[in-house]
Amino acid sequence: MNQDAKTIKTDTNQVGAEWLDLSVLNQLPLYPSKLRRPIMNFYEGKEYIKYLGNEEIGDPECVG
């Protein structure tokens, strides 16, 4: 684990943290996956929605 990841508070059962390349976020594992599009839109300077809630079965934005 790198030095940056050591300074991040983790959940009880979390095994690590990684910085992700936002330009290819659509190709990387991210949970909840519903955050993928809003994060990418924010990164690209586009309008984005605020995420509130859980993933829903059958949602096309959900990966897994």
Which tops the pLDDT comparison, 60 or 25?
Answer: 25
Longest dimension (CA), the chain: 38
Give me the chain's average pLDDT, please: 77
Contact 40, 28 (CB under 8 A): no
Nearest Cα to Cα of residue 49 among 57, 59, 61, 41:
41
Q: How far is CA 57 from the centre of its chain?
A: 18
pLDDT surpassing 80 at residue 42 = yes
pLDDT class for 53, splitting at 50, 70, 90?
A: low
Output the CA torsion sign for 11, 55, 63, 50.
Answer: negative
What pLDDT score was predicted for residue 45?
94
Q: Is residue 28 very low, low, confident or very high in pLDDT (cuts 50, 70, 90)?
A: confident
